[in-house]
Structure 1
Amino acid sequence: MHSKARLVAVGSAVAALALAGCSAGQANDGGGDSADPIRYAVEQPDSMIPGNQFSSYVILETIFAPLTQVDEDGEVSFVAAESVESDDAQTWTITLRDGWTFHDGEPVTAQDYVDTWNYAAYGPNAWVNGPQLANVAGYADLNPAEGEPTATELAGLSVVDDRTFTVELSAPDRQYPLQLGIGQTGLYPLPSEALDDLAAWEEAPVGNGPFELTDGWSESDPIEAVAYDDYAGDAPTLDAVTFVPYLDTATAYTDALAGDIDIAAIAAGQAVQARNDFGDSVYELDAPGVDFLGFTLSDPRFSDVRVRQAISMAIDREAINDAVFGGSQVPATSLTAPSMPGDPEGVCGEYCEFDPDAAKALLEEAGGFDGEMKVHFVANWGQEDYFEAIANQLRQNLGIEAVIASPSADFAAFTDAVQNGETDGPFRARWGALYPSQQNTLTAVFTATGEGNFGAGGYSSPEVDELLRQANAADTLEDSLAGYVAAQERILQDFPTVPMFGNRYLYVTSDRIAELHTNAGAIDVPKIAVAG
């Protein structure tokens, strides 16, 4: 389910991934800019258990703190961790900052991290974010392909003392410090009593972050959070924030226009209207997500790479971006978001360029296309214009008699059809990276065990796996970038998906908001500046 949220749930812009955290340093002095809570529209939360949620990111990233964060220059800095070190990129020593506590005043210990990670990784617990620990040694023993687990704890985790634990990975990975950031909610620590009775704990969640909940939470009612007085990191600029759950962006938009909401994420298709309605209070922010068209690769009508390449070349991304998204998105020329460090702009080459004549010729070379083509997406997510445009262009530019934009009844029906290989045409797919590295997108979507692999039709390649392994084990973060480019080049030889758009996340705000601080396109709630 976690991969569903990241891969296909972005039609609801409220689900935008937050990859920003607060850095550790000065103690909280309780100072905020306003006594009145700001009101922040969010997607309806599904759980307050960080390792077992896929629609509660904004709230959890406010009441929990990660071990690391990535600053605006792409450099790793530390939050709850004092250091994350390794001599060989395979065995890492994590030292926690002294004085860090949960909201009940209990100290956050190395044992809390190890116990939480073991629980999250143990297959029978079925936590949706458990795969975020898949690179730790012993994960396969807790999640065998067949049969029962042969262990209940990760072999790669060891507690050294109250503030120190070690993590042995299954293979060297120079990107590991990036993976400990705010997007990887499965790595947040829970207090020991939470694992004793998760249902009771979730009624009144206790985190380790800059804000604490005042009265529990609800899927549909406003959720109040106030600054935690004893937070050991940087003091938030706000005293309080109210998270208001919404089922759709349209209603949140209307309430923001009426002044009842101070911050709301909006869909890309609302960009033009928002610029007219909100003026300078529209934020269009580079984000770590990328949209694709996926295929059921076992379907013989799409098994020839030339068919998939022809579909890509028949789509005028610039025209769709202008007409549907108001120019707010970025036509894709690679497999990763343009905001990713080292993203190889243009690596897709001619196959991501609009060339209807070449597209039609390539399709004919592959034997043409017989019958009706359906393009699948989720209904009622504001995507109708987008997929109607795709269908119209494929019909006109490839000479296919019938190309139909085919909405699924709801999110569950759509994802079930995609995961089960039951889609009979191209389908809407997306990956929003959980940390700012090409590694996350390439591994999640284009390897057999990746969380978003179903969005690439189950694609995998031993050569790609090896290229990613080499990139992960590079001597430095910078050296790894060339390796990820090589992996992209090899994937694009097979062209399993059609890269469509690099994402930009859009927000509208009320006059109360003076400035939004962001990281990777998502709002850093503790740093929101209030006017006046």
Structure 2
Amino acid sequence: MKRRTLLGAAAATPFLSMPALGQSGDTKVLKYVPASNLTVLDPIFTPAAVSVTHGYCVFDTLYGVDASQTPQPQMAEGHTVSDDGLEWRITLRDGLKFHDGEPVRAQDCAASLARWAQRDPFGQALNAATESFGHADDKTIVIKLTRPFGPLLNAIGKPHSRPAMMMPERLAKTDPQTQITEMVGSGPYRFLADEYVSGDRVIYERFADYVPREGAAEWTSGGKQVNFDRLEWQIIPDAATAIAAIQAGEVDWLGAVLTDLQPILEMHPDVNLHRTDPYGIMHVIRFNHLIAPFDNVELRRVVMQAVDQLPFLQSVAANEADREECLALFPCGTPNVEEVGKGIIGSLDIEAAKQAVIDAGYKGEPVVILNPTDIASIHPHGLLAADLLGKIGFNVDLVETDWGTVVQRRVSKETVENGGWNLAATNWPAISINNPATNATTRGLGDSGWWGWYEDAEMEQLVVDWLAAADENAAAELYLDVQQRAIDRVPTLPLGLSYRSGAVRADLDGALQGSVDMFWNIRRT
């Protein structure tokens, strides 16, 4: 179907059949359409945005952040730090409970931090400086360090890509390499496992024993006041169908709206566009560093030199105001980021790139590109990458499948003949990768890092030095060294930034800004 046909369908066609989901009497229901299907429930296991969104429903964090990204106490009442900076004590608020009725204890939080610190890049940096995550009593978490770690609250309060979410000790002791599937947290919503159907719906109910903080909600901090009894996610992969659903009032909230469909909703009197994240989304393509051909840094450099970011950005952001070229591996517009890739990214034409591929020693190995067909902000990038790599001489195998399958397959370390892969596109909220410790796309952690498993001891030493910098000037210089190292080694291919909007029905008020959609504070007027 052509795009103009889709536009017409979205504008004129009422929403087709959807299953009725348990709304009766005075039950207040909020109906939401996420940008993608939820396949991984464990928000510590994956940085996928949909899993983080789900995680904030079920779990809570010790610290959250406000709009300035400053950490604020959330489950915590507060903290103290020893004079030598080697012991942090965090006290829990009164009245915190898990969904199974058990009280939240410091033991639970210590075990949660220990598991998170083995999965998350910022957590791994903290873990390397930690002697133990322990407790003094049921309300006091004790973190003992081997060296001072100034940004500790920034680490445990980070808002995206594996936030440090707290869970019962019995779950937190699960091997970090194993997904947790039992969803018991202390967050504002309870996950209803018996109503969850992947690819169809995800259902939550308000947790009656949740104790919000006082004060206004802002990003992931403040008072998380829930105003609905049930939260129902409806999985609608087709963008036009989702647009028709919110127009008809069948759903209340769309997590994402394609930019070329936004004009339809701008004209609708009962729907408002909602720009969730003012910092934008950074688009990237990840190389698999374990297997040929992209274990060869010279070939990674050729691909980066051949890529023109503009077509990739235009494919997901039709309006010029919704996209920004960014010749760096850190998000442009965030503090201390420089476009160190100027004169490098996109510097080769097709013929020059073809010769460079030969000169770099490419042996004709298949290049498997994983491409999700049901994620509008990613799917065009797989197509464009396949076209580009084919033109410059790579033997391309484009594997098109659903997002859930991509998420499962991209963690495989096998050869392509045994289900492995070489390239996969994705995107990150810019705020989640805006410093050397949190940017999983550039960290050199190898097997313990982000899928693709880039290993770089020199990069990791730069991160350690940045964390220990004596002052802001020293930190800025080290940050620049990190950026230049990333452009030189090409752990990931940068494609630029886009800014996207969701949509909410006009009778809803209070939708917050954040790196993901959050389902507190919002109410029906």
1:266 matches 2:256: yes
Work out the CA distance in 2 between the residues paired with 1:207 and 1:246. Answer: 23
Work out the CA distance in 1 between the residues paired with 2:346 and 2:117. Answer: 45
How many residues align? The count is: 465
Q: 2:140 aligns with which of 164, 167, 175?
A: 164
Which residue is equivalent to 1:75? 70
Gaps of 5+ in 1: 1-33, 124-128, 140-153
Q: CA deviation at 1:101?
A: 3.7
Residue 473 and residue 256 in structure 1: after superposition, are their counterparts in 2 closer, same or farther (change >3 A)?
Answer: same
What is the TM-score of this pair, normalised by structure 1?
0.71
Residue 230 and residue 244 in structure 1: after superposition, are their counterparts in 2 closer, same or farther (change >3 A)?
Answer: closer
SS at match of 1:378: strand
Partner amino acid for 1:95? Answer: T
Q: 2:228 aligns with which of 239, 246, 249?
A: 239
Which residue is equivalent to 2:165? 188
Which residue is equivalent to 1:178? 154
Which residue is equivalent to 1:94? 90
Work out the CA distance in 2 between the residues paired with 1:374 and 1:202. Answer: 33
What is the TM-score of this pair, normalised by structure 2?
0.72
Aligned 1:47-58 pairs, distance under 5 A: 51=44, 56-58=51-53
Contact 2:31–2:231 under 8 Å retained in 1: yes
SS at match of 1:446: coil
SS at match of 1:159: strand
Q: 1:346 aligns with which of 339, 342, 363?
A: 339
Q: Which has the higher helix share?
A: 1
Q: 1:448 aligns with which of 445, 449, 466?
A: 445
% identical equivalent positions = 18
Gaps of 5+ in 2: 1-25, 175-179, 214-222
1:209 matches 2:209: no
Which residue is equivalent to 1:275? 263
Q: 1:378 aligns with which of 361, 371, 374?
A: 371
Work out the CA distance in 1 between the residues paired with 2:236 and 2:272. Answer: 23
Contact 2:63–2:72 under 8 Å retained in 1: yes
Q: CA deviation at 1:273?
A: 1.8
Contact 2:366–2:396 under 8 Å retained in 1: yes
Which residue is equivalent to 1:148? none
Contact 1:292–1:501 under 8 Å retained in 2: yes
Work out the CA distance in 2 between the residues paired with 1:212 and 1:415. Answer: 25
Q: 2:425 aligns with which of 411, 428, 434?
A: 428
Work out the CA distance in 1 between the residues paired with 2:42 and 2:365. Answer: 44
Q: 2:501 aligns with which of 506, 510, 514?
A: 506
Residue 405 and residue 386 in structure 1: after superposition, are their counterparts in 2 closer, same or farther (change >3 A)?
Answer: farther
Listed one character per residue, the Cα deviations across residues 190-211 of structure 1 (whole Å, up to 9, x for unaligned) are 34687899xxx987x5532334
Work out the CA distance in 2 between the residues paired with 1:323 and 1:195. Answer: 40
Listed one character per residue, the Cα deviations across residues 162-210 of structure 1 (whole Å, up to 9, x for unaligned) are 321211346543322122235476743334687899xxx987x553233
Q: CA deviation at 1:252?
A: 4.0
SS at match of 1:491: helix
Q: CA deviation at 1:79?
A: 1.0
> Comparing 361-370 with 251-260, which one deviates more in the overlay?
361-370
Residue 324 and residue 100 in structure 1: after superposition, are their counterparts in 2 closer, same or farther (change >3 A)?
Answer: closer
Partner amino acid for 2:341? Answer: C
Partner amino acid for 1:58? Answer: T
Aligned 1:208-227 pairs, distance under 5 A: 208-212=186-190, 217-219=195-197, 220-226=200-206
Listed one character per residue, the Cα deviations across residues 3-62 of structure 1 (whole Å, up to 9, x for unaligned) are xxxxxxxxxxxxxxxxxxxxxxxxxxxxxxx97322112355457666567654323312
SS at match of 1:352: coil
Which residue is equivalent to 1:3? none
Contact 1:63–1:209 under 8 Å retained in 2: yes
Partner amino acid for 1:167? Answer: I
Which residue is equivalent to 2:306? 314
- The alignment's C-alpha RMSD in Å is 4.3
Which residue is equivalent to 2:325? 331
